[in-house]
Chain A
Amino acid sequence: MTQLAAFCARTGIDEAAARQVLGAHVTHESAPWYMQVVLGIGAWITAIVALFFVGVVMDLVFEIDEPNLAVAVIGAIVFVASLWLLHRRPDGAFAAHAAVAFATAGTLLAAAGVGVPESSLALATATTLPFAAAAIWQQRSLLLQFLIVSSALTLGIVAAWDHWNDPILGLPALFTPVGVVLLLCPPRREMRPTAFALLIVPLLLDSVATSLDVKWMLWFGWLARGLLLATFAFLFVVNWRRMADRQTRLLALAAAVAVAVATFLLPVGASAALVLLTLAYTLGSRTLAAIGALAEVYFIWSFYWDLEGTLLTKSIILMSAGAVLLLCYGLLIGTLRERRAS
């Protein structure tokens, strides 16, 4: 029995219908990722040169030297034309990447065309929202959805920083729960790129804010820690049903307490990375596992430069969190060995 047949038998799905859906899906995504990367780089270089071309036309022919409403309209036209190209040539990797690059540039042109004359980041953010909706609505390119939603999120967060005059730390905690829910209970329309953007972009901006001299923590970090702990608890409940016997459940509970203690002690970015690692385990996603591991390493490394506490305090926090996790690991290994022996 193939894996698909076994899967359909377990979940009660019509195997013939599943084969038909997956057949169409495989044909659509046939080029390997490394080939896509090469073609993607070529397409992006082409798009950048083309944008220079548009810039020169606007500057030298129409004498527009600063973004205005005309630029916004051109951006919208470029975006719509790119979506049309994506629908016409969905299988050509080069054309698809070029369309994605132009659509992203179109969105940013539109945001600049509306936001710059008014000197308003909030207005620029609002402008990107319909583009983000259209990027989610189109189902041809996951990369396009990720890039446009990421652009909207970045502008939104920077607008919030601008509104409160300083960068705010802890924002990943507001977006992480939404991303987790979108991945665990996905809607019928493909929204995984949006979920990934919600999980990754605020984390990236948090890492930028951490390195700046002036910044402040949203509600002293308690709200962020509370939200991340709640998300972690939710993930733990999702995993709970996987555990068959009482002993495994007790051990998992010990591991969960250890991770929760670490989440509570560590900086918000590192705690959010822990949530990503737990989500990777829940979904069996190697991409999330790699992102979570990288984020964890980065935030623990950047903890060194954190001026909130002395190096001595930070070393005690890290050693305590590490010791709790190692203790839990030792307990788990010991029990597994006992079980194997018996």
Chain B
Amino acid sequence: MDVTPARPELGPSALQALRSAGLISARGYAAAVDSVRDEAFWARWGMRALLALGVGQFLAGVVFFFAYNWNDLSDIAKVAIIETSLVIAVGGALLVGLDRVFGQMLLIAASVLTGMLLAVIGQVYQTGADVFELFAAWAVLILPWTIISRHPVHWLLWLVVAEVAFALYGDQVLVPIQEMPGELVWVIVGATIALALAAREWAVHRGMAWLTAHWTRLVLLFAAMAALFAPAAGQMFDVDNLTVGAMCVAAFLLAALLASALYWRSRRDFPALVIVIGFVDAFVVCVGYRIIDEGIGFDLDDVGPALSSLGAMIVWAIAATGSAALIMRRLRGSLQEVPS
């Protein structure tokens, strides 16, 4: 069942404009809303909201009940409760079928329960293992379900678990033994998300219809750019190692360049370009901060340097965001806002 409402010609803003112009009276406003409201969509929404509220509150009650009795439960009972739920979820998914949304949701629930099971096992038996091992085991165990479910949310969950496993491995193992600087861990996280995005584009190009939802592209692009932006921007505030700094900045700029070329020339996607431009704008502001700090210095105790550095920063920020606005306005004219 599709829950996406038809894009209405008349929305709340349009109705308010008519109300402000005096074409609709205060008394007649509710009736006017009625006549443009997507009745079928909201009827479905109402039913689903009632179901979600009922299920959500009931399950929350069950969770509270177990939490109340958790300390009194034996270790075997704790593990058995989660394992039973896991079996029910997987059995339910197989029974309903993986070609239906409900079946796919049950398999996603099974993947989440697997993580909970690993956490409880770790809590009960105190294995002394590092946290990254839990996430790595979780990612490995749920990979087969992720592959067969063919659902973007399931893949997103798997990617988050796998990336957290790698980030924790970097933080707990690679950085302490000085095998890798902390910034490069984030560069690799960003690069692997970018690879996932490239894989998504390739799969869509090859005709995998279940991956075509526009949000999958935007979420991956945003995550990749954010993960690459953080270490690159960090270099503008504090540089420890010039080579590492150059690598962080180069990775961010390369990603921005490739994404711009792809979504400007090949895939033609304005919202995706806005994400890239937004991050580049923020990076340029950070570069400005660095240049002004090196040139004048942000000494807020001395009138001259304080006023000139802050003044220069204001001019730089206005110039950077103003340029971004101009670029976006130009691009918008030549690109569709939402790709087909």
A3-B8, A45-B285, A185-B30 are contacts. A311–B67 as well, Cβ < 8 Å?
A: yes
A322 touches B61 (CB 8 A): yes
B58 touches A319 (CB 8 A): yes
A94-B322, A283-B12, A310-B68 are contacts. A41–B278 as well, Cβ < 8 Å?
A: yes
Identify A297's interface contact among B56, B300, B320, CB under 8 A.
B56
Identify B67's interface contact among A61, A304, A325, CB under 8 A.
A304
Residues from chain A with a CB closer than 8 A to the CB of B50 are 255, 258, 325, 328-329, 332
A332 to B49, CA, bound (A): 13
Interface size on B, residues (CB 8 A): 81
Is B78's beta carbon under 8 Å from chain A? no
A329 to B53, CA, bound (A): 10
B62 touches A262 (CB 8 A): no
Among the stretches A130-138, A170-178, A188-196, A224-232, the one at the interface with B is A188-196
Is A337's beta carbon under 8 Å from chain B? no
Is B94's beta carbon under 8 Å from chain A? no
Is A342's beta carbon under 8 Å from chain B? no
B9 touches A50 (CB 8 A): no
B307 touches A2 (CB 8 A): no
B337 touches A22 (CB 8 A): no
Is A64's beta carbon under 8 Å from chain B? no
Among the stretches B37-45, B113-121, B163-171, the one at the interface with A is B37-45
Chain B min CB distance to A28 (Å): 9
Is A123's beta carbon under 8 Å from chain B? no
Is A119's beta carbon under 8 Å from chain B? no
How does the 8 Å CB contact mask read for A227-250 relative to B, with 1 for contact and 0 for none?
000000000001000100000000
A38 touches B68 (CB 8 A): no
Chain B min CB distance to A275 (Å): 13
Give A25-75 interface residues, CB cut-off 8 Å to B.
Answer: 25, 29, 32, 34-35, 37-39, 41-43, 45-46, 49-50, 52-53, 56-57, 60-61
* B-to-A contact residues, CB < 8 Å: 5, 8-10, 12-14, 16-24, 26-38, 42, 45-47, 49-65, 67-68, 270-271, 274-275, 277-278, 281-282, 285, 300-303, 306-307, 310-311, 313-314, 317-318, 320-322, 324-325, 328, 332, 337
* A-to-B contact residues, CB < 8 Å: 2-4, 7, 10-11, 13-14, 17-18, 21-22, 24-25, 29, 32, 34-35, 37-39, 41-43, 45-46, 49-50, 52-53, 56-57, 60-61, 92-94, 139, 184-190, 192, 238, 242, 255, 258, 262, 274, 277, 281-286, 289, 293, 296-297, 300-301, 303-304, 310-312, 314-326, 328-329, 332-333
